[in-house]
Structure 1
Amino acid sequence: MWTLPGRLAATALAASVAALTVIAVGLSAPASAATLFSDDFADGDSAGWSSTGGTWSVVTDGSPVLRQSGTSSDARSRAGSASWTDYAVTARIKPTAVNGGNRFVALLARAQSNTNYYYLALRSNSTVELKKLVGGSSTTLASAPAAFALGTWHTLALEVAGTSLRGTVDGVSLVTATDAQFASGQIGVATFNAAANIDNVLVTSGAPSSPSPSPSSSAAPSASPSASRSPSASPSPSGPPIPPLPGGPDGFATVAGYGTATTTGGAGGPTVTVSTTAAFLDYIARPGPYTIQVAGTITLPTGTTDGMHSVSSDKTIVGLGSTGRLTGGGLNVGIPVSDAVTTPPADAVHNVIIRNLTIDNSTDDLINVQMFSHHVWIDHNDLSRGGDGAVDIKRGSDLLTVSWNRFHDHYKTTLVGHDDANGAQDTGRLRVTYHHNFFDRSDQRNPRVRFSPLVHVYNNYYFDNSYGIASTNESGLFVEGNYFFSVNNPGRVEFSGPLGRMVERNNILVECNHPIEVRGSVPDPAGFYGYTVDPPASVPTLVPAGAGVGKVTS
């Protein structure tokens, strides 16, 4: 159902306007934004929309929605006034099927015809692009990583103000551009070789002439995990990236996505102390939130699991004092491996904290994160003598932070990306922050990265390593404020597969045989979260003093 100026039910309209206020990241909201248009399709039809291509109908998906069910061509549907100039359009869009690779669903603004408009395209390779179509020929104005999941609602917002354009996905401002091609036009939705459901379309006027940062005091992340797995039900950040809370997670583990606002682990659930193998394995596998305190040494069996023991969602596993230790086996954060799964499943493990533990002498990995697991914080651990990786992150996992750990007596330290043939699961995901880790004679893979659009590596101390960081398979690494001492090759863009990308800023190299290799461009992490880089000259003192167990202050 649509109206000019709008006819959503009063409560739904209030919610949508509030959501749009959150979504309009970085724009100073006008005193009273007028609603130009809204449609929730509650009347069961799509009157007021002009469609071309595809197969359009109003169906029920919990409530009435507009569905485009064809996947064989371009499809567009436009609405509103050709005279609209400065406005923000938002809609919930759920991709339901794609035909081939790198397909997209999109939101349109200033559409003058079916071949002339600006659009925000959320692609199946987990990127978002801010583009324009001129006479049917497209130009990309900006792009960034963004989660894409079939069967999941994503909230897209496209703002046009003068020559300024801004695109937002799931409450996070990701792409901006300046362009003067189109001054006015309708709004719309589109798909490219993809089927999708569309709901809650809202257009508000009064956008300012240029974007400017405007922090919101209501933007703090939720203190407890959301009980809902629906992205539309999760808190969304507003304003500029939020600084980390003292004693809490930071980096990519705090970025909203996949229906989760931030990483809280077992917050809100019972706290238990375990000192036996049986109790530990029982609690890490239980459903629901738990904070599991490890007292003393627990030996993990090998048995039929090769020493890897699965951790379920919403868990904090933390050592007591400086003596909490797991030995003989490792932790597996993720559902069983399936090469056939290429989009995040509903049961993907999420919201896990592993902290203040010594983990050593495993028969396989010390910590393995796999199969689209997300929102994981690995902090202040002592990791050594694993049979394979110390911390391996792979198979579509996303939004992790690895901080203040000491890695030592280990050969292949931390891998991001399963292998060169696993692009279907890994491309566009695997976003990880590594900061203030002590790579203490850990030989290599500190980390080695495939396919990730952005791994942020800052303020780590590299001491006597064969190589520090490697980028391959078109991955992007942003390397800043680190200290490399006696590292043969601090940062390299090579290995098997296509070359990667690496940007470096303000690193210190001492007694190293090669410089950090630089290639291509990489998104600035400051566009995703707030952080502070310590002076790199302080790293050799700061990091060994603070990394590892028994040093958590809050």
Structure 2
Amino acid sequence: MHRRIHRFIQGAVPLALVGAVLAAPQPASAAITDLVGWGTQNGGTTGGGSAATTTVTSASALTTAVGSTSAAVIRVSGTISCSGMLRVRSNKTIIGNSGAAIVGCGLNINGDRNVIIRNLTFRNWNDDAINVQESATNIWVDHNTFSNGYDGAVDIKRGSDFITVSWNRVFSHDKSMLLGHSDSNASQDVGHLRVTYHHNWFDASTQRHPRVRFGNPVHVYNNYYNSNSGYGVASTEGAGVLVEANSFENVDDPFHLGEGSSDAGTLVARNNLLVNSGSGQTGGSVASIPYSYTPDAPANVKSIVTANAGAGRISV
């Protein structure tokens, strides 16, 4: 694909203003600890809330804690090495202490609800790092770091809904974030798969940032994309994706319709900053966003996201 060498903000900001905006970076419009987006809907996402806190330091203790049917706040301490997928039940907050890592395995939310996963480093997982499926609802994946895994960093599928994925960093990894696993799953997925992706740092990761089927509206805003060799966002199979106020740098293919054998969805791009990047492909309309939010200026997204995304950037 031909690379377009340019710098412009798409949709709303005149070219003459870009330099002035770039010269005055501002702090994030919302606090980096705030829950914003689809995870606030359907009663909100509170995780374990004020339930008792358990600190885990081993794979067996983590497996037991996340698999309990009781509400809990689970603190992960140190590096936990494991394999496969650990089942996470409803009403859990799983949060890493400083430097906490889960290595070799992933977390599977399978039909449960109200789960928060924050401040963890995932690496070398042998399936997915986080898998959300079977109509799981009200999930918040926030301030985690993902690298060198086998399959998806955060995959959401099979009718899951009301989810926010925020302030994460993905690097040294291929398939980042899949939304909707199959072209043939419309009967379960249509009307669901409503996800907000905001302030994530897709740091030279390859593709699926996200790759979307069926969900409408899916909201992708204020993310920083740099040097993604595959593509940024793909809308397929009737999905409706709003790509808003993101920063793309050195990305030949920032967003497009259709992917692989999947038919096109719709995609509206608004107020994105494209630096040394392609112009992207848009088409159709997207359902309205039902929640309140205030996007950061796209010219400030790079500095805000690189300073705050990933594990270790919040006080726990």
Tell me whether the two structures share a fold, i.e. TM-score over 0.5: yes
Amino acid at match of 1:467: Y
Per the alignment, residue 391 of structure 1 pairs with: 154
For 1:292, the equivalent position in structure 2 comes to: 74
Structure 1 residues 491, 551: closer, same or farther in 2, change over 3 A?
A: same
Aligned twin of 1:251: 37
2:63 matched to 1:281?
yes
Residue 325 of structure 1 aligns with which residue?
101
- Contact 2:32–2:308, Cα closer than 8 Å, also in 1: no
Aligned mate of 2:165, from 402, 407, 411: 402
CA distance in 2, matches of 1:428, 1:486: 34
2:249 corresponds to: 485
1:270-293 CA-partner distances (Å, limit 9, x unpaired): 111111111111100001210000
Q: Which residue of 2 aligns with 1:506?
A: 271
Compare the two structures and name the one with the higher strand fraction: 1
The residue correspondences of 1:57-206 to structure 2 (distance < 5 A) are: none
Alignment-derived partner of residue 309 in structure 1: 86
- Cα distance per residue 1:195-241 (max 9 Å; x no partner): xxxxxxxxxxxxxxxxxxxxxxxxxxxxxxxxxxxxxxxxxxxxxxx
Matched positions, count = 286
| Partner secondary structure for residue 254 of structure 2 | strand
What is the identity, as a one-letter code, of the residue corresponding to 1:252?
A: W
Q: CA deviation at 1:553?
A: 4.0
Equivalent residue for 2:7? none
**Identity over the aligned pairs, expressed in percent?**
48
CA distance in 2, matches of 1:254, 1:377: 9
Following superposition, the deviation at residue 418 of structure 1 comes to 1.0
User: Deviation at 1:488?
Assistant: 1.5
Partner of 1:201: none
Work out the CA distance in 2 between the residues paired with 1:394 and 1:523: 20
Shift of the alpha carbon at 1:315?
A: 0.3
Q: Establish whether residue 374 from structure 1 lines up as the match of residue 150 from structure 2.
A: no
SS at structure 1 position matched to 2:177:
strand
Aligned pairs (5 A) from 1:463-482:
463-465=226-228, 466-482=230-246
> Which structure has the greater CA radius of gyration?
1
Question: For the Cα contact (< 8 Å) 1:325–1:358, is it kept in 2?
Answer: yes
Structure 1 residue 516 displacement after superposition: 2.1
TM-score normalised by length of structure 2: 0.88
Cα separation, partners in 2 of 1:508 and 1:248, compared to 1, 3 Å: closer
Gaps of 5+ in 2: 1-28
User: 2:53 matched to 1:271?
Assistant: yes
Q: Distance in 2 between matches of 1:509 and 1:550?
A: 28
- Give 3-state SS (helix, strand or coil) of 1:284's partner: helix
Partner of 2:313: 551
Change (3 A) 1:550 1:246: closer
Aligned CA-pair RMSD: 1.4
Maintained 8 Å contact 1:244/1:530: no
Q: Partners in 1 of 2:138 and 2:159 — Cα distance?
A: 12
Partners of 2:297 and 2:34 lie apart in 1 by 22
Report the equivalent of 2:125: 362
In the TM superposition, what is the alpha-carbon distance from 1:245 to its structure 2 partner?
8.3
Q: Which has the higher contact order (CA 8 A, sep 6+)?
A: 2
Q: What code does the residue aligned with 1:313 have?
A: S
Cα pair 1:473 1:499 within 8 Å, conserved:
yes
